[in-house]
Structure 1
Amino acid sequence: MQIYDNLKKNVNKNVDYYMSLVKSMYDNPEVGNEEFETMELLCNALCNLGFEVKKEFIVPTGFIGEYSSPKTGPTIAFLCEYDALPEIGHGCGHNLIAGIGIASGTALKSVIDDIGGTVLIVGTPAEENFGGKVSMAEAGVFDKVDVALMLHPSTHNSLGGKTQALNPIKFEFFGKNAHGCTPQEGKSALDAAVLSYININLLRQFTKENTHIHGIFKNGGSAANVIPAYASLEYYFRGETMDYVQELSKKAMKCVEGACLATETSFKSLIYECPYEDMLINYELTKLLKKKYEELGLKDIEDVDETPTGSTDMGSVSYKCPSLHGYIKIADSSVNGHSKEMAQATISSQGKAALINGAYALSSIAVDLICNDSLLKKVKDEFKKSTEK
């Protein structure tokens, strides 16, 4: 059909411009919540491409670009990530995610006046640990979105996978200083932290499958001959659902309470980063992605990974509207994620091919959904069933 040819033409016409954005982000990486220059770069690009743009949207480095057809129709959101990693830069490929998101949305914009609907390109910063999507989901950004779409660079082509819910908790312990020669006059916050660490480790035997507990000592004293009055631990509690992760967190809290009771110390806890929901898979959307990948001639397409691994703030979006979080290959399997080699791959010929193929795949999925009411209904019915308690 002509409309799909027009999508491809639009992507190919602008691909060098999109890759210049990807390269600029690669050369000037900014970590989460500090992506101010990147926000300006991408917002200027969206203005040039004909979108109505809002900067500092919901969060300081967030943005949204919008274009509405005169004809009514569904609202399709394409999500951009663009935070980098300390020292490594764009080792998770977020610069290419942004490029694919902008290219996808612009391709859909080029045909949407004929088919009806609204295009949103949403800049969601700080995916690595501060969850821009979580803040946006809580603010209602996705409440009236019909479908949210994004692709993540990888070493394989995949329809996506389940992820783990994550709850990040910091425990701070408070005791009393004393000289090491008169320890009976002190109360060791470090001892409370050590006992808490041991107690929480003992929980591992009693957790469900696909559960992870990651913990470190953040503070433990400053001199060997001084009983520490302050110590702290930082933990990630991960599991298949947020309900279970909260249950696990409560058990950990009891471990800490017991340790403080034994050492006559006190503690307080706080959420030190952003909690992430698990990713709710929409299988109707993954079927569409597989179809598009096959049409493009992409090989070795992996089905949905049913074993939850890792965490992403896209999980919060997936509980607000039907969502797709697929993967597209830009490097060989020998390349590690979160590496300088993966960052380099985003600006390689494989990265450029992934942008072209990914943008066409997402924009053509959007056209399918807009032009086929029954298909969109299937997607939304699955979402409704999945989110019913």
Structure 2
Amino acid sequence: MSSAQESTGRNPGAAGHRAEPDTGAGAVAGAVARARAESRVGEFAGRLLELSRSLHADPEVSFDEHRAAGRLAALMEGAGFDVTRGAYGLETALSASYGSGDLTVAVCAEYDALPGIGHACGHNVICAAGAGAAIGLAAAADELGFRVLLLGTPAEEEGGGKVLMLERGAFDDVTVAMMAHPGKHDDTDPRSSTTAVSRFEVTFTGRAAHAGLSPHLGVNAADATVVAQVAVGQLRQQIQDGRRVAGFVRHGGERSNIVPERAVLEFEVRTPTGEELAELKERVLDCFRGAAVATGCEVSFRPTQPDYLDLRNDAWLMGAYEDGLRAVGREIPARPAEPRRLGASTDMGNVTQALPAIHPGIGILGAQGSPHTREFADWTGTAAADDAVLAAARAMAHAGVALAADPERRAHYRALRSG
């Protein structure tokens, strides 16, 4: 870890690093700016909840979120932002900016859904909360002299929209970034993290033959998938806790009377950190290579998305977000003795490793089920989800204003990004 990361508290173990109260002129300016941000979120509350509900009722999967991106763009244009649709070479990405200055606070808005089960990860909540935070921050931007940037980031569930946008310069001028993800409870522990993940496609190529007349002339690609999955299953006994291997057969043949000449699988490998991905992935690929040798097939591999890295939250920003949640009346659960590492993965992890950023949890209080289930999908369209939208919007706006109004902290983050 670099000294820059240590100095900002981006070390996931820096749980005690909190925003220090400012009692000088910055506090007065910050209080006034926070009031304006809070008021602006309230003015747009109806439109924010309409956005969340409309996305929930009309889910679109990764890189196909045309209507969702259009709704978000229209809302931001109506709020006075300069909007670019189809940003960074991605049809369903957008950028919306307001204000200017030596500080840029970015808010990420996700809006892709899951195939078959809709907004079971609550990206409708993420999108509306992000829009609300940006709109609230815009109310304070002119007075405090900073720029607000809302980034509509497609394809988080599959495709790595933020990784592509990061590579294409979307975050180059960003000082700090934030977003809030729904779950069953609020999570403001900066030690909380996710796993890194690598996803890839495996293709076995054999030779077709008549399964009844001349099977001995064929090379069975479907057999290779069986051998490979058995090998991966045996490998699971030898990998450490917290590492995961999962996959499925997407294509395994055409008809029972044809020896399958082609089979395709999709697999993923997860590890606690990005640094560990390569070693475990290579062991898994060896299982497929061995299956190819055993069955006489050829095997090839293709990544299906960029690798996602583990989250590394900025502790000071997380503390400011937590203060914002408390300010709107949310009761923050006690932090566990050991940090939480979710089995899930997100492309926001890549952003947090490139610049100071946070990815806290916002609770849909009372929700049943867990993310990526039909039960949780139902909850992301409820009044409890509406409450989460507005609470997260206000808390993120609070955090952004706290930074902009604190000259020392502001200079510190600017120095990190300029270095």
Say if 2:336 is the partner of 1:306.
Answer: no
Q: Distance in 2 between matches of 1:341 and 1:176?
A: 44
Q: Deviations over 1:136-171 (max 9, x none)?
A: 011121122111011112210112621111111111
Q: Distance in 2 between matches of 1:183 and 1:86?
A: 37
Say if 2:166 is the partner of 1:137.
Answer: yes
What secondary structure is seen at the aligned counterpart in 2 of 1:157? coil
Q: Distance in 2 between matches of 1:209 and 1:91?
A: 27
Q: 1:148 aligns with which of 150, 166, 177?
A: 177
Q: 1:66 aligns with which of 84, 91, 97?
A: 97
Counterpart for residue 118 of structure 1: 147
Q: 1:197 aligns with which of 229, 239, 253?
A: 229
* TM-fit CA distance, 1:100: 0.9
Give the residue type in structure 2 aligned to 1:93: G
> Residues 163 and 347 of structure 2 are in contact (CA less than 8 Å); yes or no, is this contact kept in structure 1?
yes
Counterpart for residue 372 of structure 1: 406
Q: Distance in 2 between matches of 1:230 and 1:200?
A: 20
TM normalised by structure 2 equals 0.85
Q: Relative to 1, partners in 2 of residues 1:260 and 1:355: Cα closer, same or farther, differing over 3 Å? A: closer
Say if 2:49 is the partner of 1:15.
Answer: no
> Residues 166 and 275 of structure 1 are in contact (CA less than 8 Å); yes or no, is this contact kept in structure 2?
yes
Counterpart for residue 170 of structure 1: 201
Q: Deviations over 1:307-345 (max 9, x none)?
A: 242011111211221111111112415233234443443
Q: Relative to 1, partners in 2 of residues 1:245 and 1:384: Cα closer, same or farther, differing over 3 Å? A: farther
Identify which range, 294-303 or 117-126, moves more after superposition: 294-303
Q: Distance in 2 between matches of 1:137 and 1:336?
A: 29
> Residues 158 and 302 of structure 1 are in contact (CA less than 8 Å); yes or no, is this contact kept in structure 2?
no
Q: Distance in 1 between matches of 2:69 and 2:367?
A: 31
Q: Distance in 1 between matches of 2:228 and 2:117?
A: 33
Give the residue type in structure 2 aligned to 1:112: A
> Residues 175 and 417 of structure 2 are in contact (CA less than 8 Å); yes or no, is this contact kept in structure 1?
no
Identify which range, 357-366 or 201-210, moves more after superposition: 201-210
* Ranges in structure 2 where 5+ consecutive residues have no aligned partner: 1-30
> Residues 215 and 236 of structure 1 are in contact (CA less than 8 Å); yes or no, is this contact kept in structure 2?
yes
* TM-fit CA distance, 1:377: 5.9
Counterpart for residue 246 of structure 1: 278
Q: Deviations over 1:207-248 (max 9, x none)?
A: 233110002122222334432211222111111122321222
Q: 1:355 aligns with which of 386, 389, 412?
A: 389
Give the residue type in structure 2 aligned to 1:191: D
Q: 1:30 aligns with which of 60, 72, 82?
A: 60
Counterpart for residue 156 of structure 2: 127
Q: Relative to 1, partners in 2 of residues 1:139 and 1:263: Cα closer, same or farther, differing over 3 Å? A: same
Counterpart for residue 108 of structure 2: 79
Counterpart for residue 23 of structure 2: none
Say if 2:250 is the partner of 1:221.
Answer: no
Q: Relative to 1, partners in 2 of residues 1:212 and 1:378: Cα closer, same or farther, differing over 3 Å? A: farther
Q: 1:263 aligns with which of 269, 282, 295?
A: 295
Give the residue type in structure 2 aligned to 1:352: D
Q: Relative to 1, partners in 2 of residues 1:197 and 1:115: Cα closer, same or farther, differing over 3 Å? A: same
Identify which range, 341-350 or 79-88, moves more after superposition: 341-350
Q: Relative to 1, partners in 2 of residues 1:111 and 1:14: Cα closer, same or farther, differing over 3 Å? A: same
- Please report the RMSD computed on the Cα atoms of aligned residues, expressed in angstroms: 2.3
Q: Distance in 1 between matches of 2:201 and 2:418?
A: 35
Q: Deviations over 1:57-104 (max 9, x none)?
A: 1211000000123xx331000111111222322222111211111111
* Ranges in structure 1 where 5+ consecutive residues have no aligned partner: none
* TM-fit CA distance, 1:11: 1.1
Query: Aligned ranges for residues 326-341 of structure 1 at < 5 Å?
Result: 326-341=360-375
Q: Relative to 1, partners in 2 of residues 1:215 and 1:86: Cα closer, same or farther, differing over 3 Å? A: closer
Give the residue type in structure 2 aligned to 1:282: D
* TM-fit CA distance, 1:195: 1.6
Give the residue type in structure 2 aligned to 1:242: G
> Residues 80 and 121 of structure 1 are in contact (CA less than 8 Å); yes or no, is this contact kept in structure 2?
yes
> Residues 284 and 382 of structure 1 are in contact (CA less than 8 Å); yes or no, is this contact kept in structure 2?
no
> Residues 237 and 245 of structure 1 are in contact (CA less than 8 Å); yes or no, is this contact kept in structure 2?
yes
TM normalised by structure 1 equals 0.91
Q: Deviations over 1:238-277 (max 9, x none)?
A: 1112232122222222222222222222111111244312
Name whichever structure is richer in strand by fraction: 1
Give the residue type in structure 1 aligned to 2:38: K
